[in-house]
């Protein structure tokens, strides 16, 4: 059985002016923008974009692997995986439905990785957008109280693969057009029509170095075409 998918992504360095161009994000004072990462994996902290209490958009670090607000046990007792959420069932699943209703976010990336082939000889592929250095995946976040501390965490929504990516995996992340960013973040808006495969002609897929299989490897050369 294939995994739900999208368990690794990469992100080139993003400047504060890039974020401002997307969503009028006001850069925090004397804070550097997020560093590039070439092998982000579940269990790591990654930047997400979300609506703050004042209504403006903020960039915040969150754990990749959503922990629902009702979870009260130690984190090590959480045995279910939540780094992806199927868009078709996200509104009903107890783990995700609260976040879907109240806490949508954007996950800034430059692309993601997927593997195909037989076990033991799988080929990794990088998947990105044509002529786009950065874009955003549709995500959900939640805030749980674990051992007296607030834990902010997120998940990436998935949908059926498009023609460009279906040869690598039967699922793909929900990629949003920049014109839909604000709508996705507005939880009063219905967004069912956004959770669809991204147009194939706008995507690019290429084989990359097998070293990407080890999360300790994190450098730009992982993206070199094989």
Q: Give the β-pairing of 135-146 and 175-176.
A: antiparallel
Residue 103 confidence (pLDDT) above 90: yes
Residue 3's pLDDT is: 44
DSSP class of residue 224 equals S
pLDDT (0 to 100) of residue 39: 97
Whole-angstrom distance, CA of residue 224 vs CA of residue 207: 8
Q: Which among 175, 169, 180, 178 has a CA at the least distance from the CA of 156?
A: 175
- Strand ranges (E), the chain: 9-11, 37-40, 45-51, 57-64, 84-86, 104-109, 111-116, 123-129, 135-146, 149-160, 171-173, 175-176, 203-207
> Are the CB atoms for 10 and 40 separated by under 8 Å?
yes
pLDDT of residue 55: 86
Q: What is the pLDDT of residues 163-205, one digit of tens each?
A: 999 999 999 999 999 999 999 999 999 999 999 999 999 999 9
Burial 164-173 (b: 16+ CB within 10 A, else e): bbeebbebbb
Segment 100-122 shows an average pLDDT of 93
What class has domain 9-223? alpha beta
Read off the pLDDT of residues 31-45 as tens digits, 9 standing for 90 and up: 889 999 999 999 999
Q: Which of 110-124, 131-145, 206-220 has the lowest mean pLDDT?
A: 110-124
pLDDT digits (tens, 9 = 90+) for 49-85: 999 888 889 999 999 999 999 998 888 899 899 999 9
Q: What is the pLDDT of residue 208?
A: 96
Is the pLDDT at 1 greater than 50? The verdict is no
User: Cβ atoms within 10 A of the Cβ of 34, count?
Assistant: 16
User: What is the average per-residue pLDDT within 91-116?
Assistant: 96
Could you tell me where the DSSP H helices lie in 14-81? 16-23
Give the pLDDT score at 19.
85
């Amino acid at each position: 059985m294939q995994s739900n998918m999208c368990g690794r992504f990469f992100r080139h360095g993003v400047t504060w002016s890039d974020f401002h161009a997307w969503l009028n994000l006001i850069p925090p004072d004397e804070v550097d923008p997020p560093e590039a990462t070439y092998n982000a994996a579940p269990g790591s902290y990654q930047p997400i974009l979300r609506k703050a209490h004042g209504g403006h958009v903020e960039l915040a670090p969150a754990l990749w692997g959503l922990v629902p607000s009702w979870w009260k046990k130690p984190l090590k007792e959480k045995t279910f995986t939540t780094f992806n959420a199927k868009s078709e069932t996200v509104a009903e699943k107890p783990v995700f439905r609260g976040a879907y209703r109240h806490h949508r976010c954007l996950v800034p990336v430059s692309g993601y990785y997927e593997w195909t082939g037989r076990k033991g000889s799988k080929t990794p592929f990088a998947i990105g957008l044509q002529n786009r250095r950065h874009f955003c995946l549709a995500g959900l976040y939640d805030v749980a109280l674990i051992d007296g501390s607030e834990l902010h965490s997120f998940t990436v929504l998935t949908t059926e693969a498009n023609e460009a990516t279906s040869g690598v995996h039967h699922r793909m992340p929900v990629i949003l057009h920049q014109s839909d960013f604000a709508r996705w973040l507005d939880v009063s808006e219905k967004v069912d029509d956004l959770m669809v495969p991204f147009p194939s002609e706008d995507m690019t897929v290429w084989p990359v170095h097998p070293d990407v299989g080890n999360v300790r490897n994190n450098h730009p050369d992982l993206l070199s075409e094989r």
